[in-house]
Amino acid sequence: MSRFSITHAPHIKAKDDSARIMLYTIIALLPAAIVGIYLFGKNSIVLIASSIIAAVLTEYLMLFLRGKKAVPADVLSAVITGMLLAMVVTSATPWWMIMIGSIFAISIVKHA
């Protein structure tokens, strides 16, 4: 007889939930963001901050409109979206354009 049992996934139990994994991702993105700020100047700070703020506020608004409570994984996911979006555009991008991109990414792409 086989000594293996057939069960449903996940087979390996870990203490890491999705919020913790999102936090690890943010921590992993920080060195790249710091280097970008060092190389491209203060406009990079404005872009990263405005993108994150727009993404998080849009996340809260969409969750409110859908009648759901915000959980840490949702908010951290919005932070990651804001960071990644700000880090892939040029530093000459206007702050309002990056905010529109964050709003579109969260409201249409994520929640639609």
Residue-wise pLDDT for 33-88, tens only, equals: 999 999 999 999 999 999 999 999 999 999 999 999 999 999 999 999 999 999 99
- Any idea where the domains of the chain sit in the sequence? 18-110
Q: What is the pTM of this model?
A: 0.86
For tokens 């991008």, name the residue. 93
Looking at per-residue pLDDT, the higher value among 7 and 77 belongs to 77
Q: Residue 1: what pLDDT? A: 57
- Residues in contact with 39: Cβ distance below 8 Å, sequence separation at least 6, in sequence order: none
Specify whether the CB–CB gap between 40 and 87 falls below 8 A: no
Specify whether the CB–CB gap between 62 and 78 falls below 8 A: no
% of residues, the chain, pLDDT over 90: 83
Banded pLDDT at 28 (limits 50, 70, 90): very high
Q: What are phi and psi of 94, to 5 degrees?
A: -65, 150
